[in-house]
Structure 1
């Protein structure tokens, strides 16, 4: 009887362990399940080289970054989307501008939005995750190439349209790898614009290449 009870206890323990493991796996699948796909947003992007006056007007009342030196290039972009009906609280977006040739992002981005309180710039772990998952985003997380680039973070699905602007300067010789950013000269086809959808716990739902 004692042996049978021991076996029964062992079987029950294994069953409970398997149930717990399955529950954790199921929770992770649910957490990583996108509330909607990129098609629900219908996102579009534009990008162009402009002069200072055009950039100032497009960003107003936000201050645009100024080009100071001969050879500086001013890039002006816009990303628009439609708020999806399945929008989940805590879902956010990252807008990435990436030099495909050198796998680097701009060092500074000025940004304006329909909801200015819910847009900012910087970098976070979601960019690293996206870079690891999508080879065409190499450099976005700066994990494989170094660099000190910046992306746009959007914390509200009501922020569309988002207008962003950056100035690319000529490369400075001797710049350490961890300080490298996108530099001039570039042509618009050299740069891609991507949209990354991120969950409330920093999980990357998906990434979409919007331009180039």
Structure 2
């Protein structure tokens, strides 16, 4: 068992920078933007990840979208990468409650929007991250494809998924929300 522990909290830019340390820049925030600080820790499994990875998702449950990017730090900094991968669309097929993990259906197909954190080394615990939720004074016409402010903690879901080297979804766990 991984004995996963997690937390989410709103922080100021200075608090975000202090949590991330000197080697990682906290996201820029202005005015009514919000920053969410997350921490996820686990006990290393008995077997190495062998090409698989943990995918950490922070999803705004109101619209099933992810933040645009993350700033993150870990004891194995080179093993943590923000982004997305098409193979993660399989997550939604197996776990419908993780709808926001996959691509977004748009008029002419699918859109890869937002970001998650991929952790490629089981020894990268604890993971600390900050996700920005920008406040849009005048939202663009149509849908916004990344999470934005204002957001309440009850709107957020934090989940961890194990993706195998073969692209298989092995398991998913809701950590918060």
Q: TM-score when scaled to structure 1?
A: 0.76
Higher relative contact order (CA 8 A, sep 6+): 2
String of CA shifts for 1:65-120, please: whole Å, max 9, x gaps.
Answer: 1102x110011001000001133422210000000111000001111111001001
Q: Which residue in 1 is equivalent to 2:153? A: 188
Q: CA RMSD in A?
A: 1.6
When Rg is computed on C-alpha atoms for both structures, the one with the higher figure is 1
Contact 2:84 2:112 in 1 (8 A): no
Structure 1: 5+ residue stretches without partners:
1-39
Q: Which residue in 1 is equivalent to 2:175? A: 210
String of CA shifts for 1:5-30, please: whole Å, max 9, x gaps.
Answer: xxxxxxxxxxxxxxxxxxxxxxxxxx
Which has more helix, going by share of residues? Answer: 1
Structure 2: 5+ residue stretches without partners:
none
Which has more strand, going by share of residues? Answer: 2
String of CA shifts for 1:21-64, please: whole Å, max 9, x gaps.
Answer: xxxxxxxxxxxxxxxxxxx1111110000111110011112111
Q: Tell me, what secondary structure is at the counterpart of 1:139? A: helix
Q: Which residue in 1 is equivalent to 2:121? A: 156
5 Å-filtered alignment, 1:48-197, equals 48-60=9-21, 61-68=23-30, 70-144=31-105, 146=111, 148-171=113-136, 172-174=138-140, 177=143, 180-197=145-162
**1:187: Cα distance to partner?**
1.0
Q: What is the distance in 1 between the residues matched to 2:133 and 2:67?
A: 7
Q: Which residue in 2 is equivalent to 1:46? A: 7
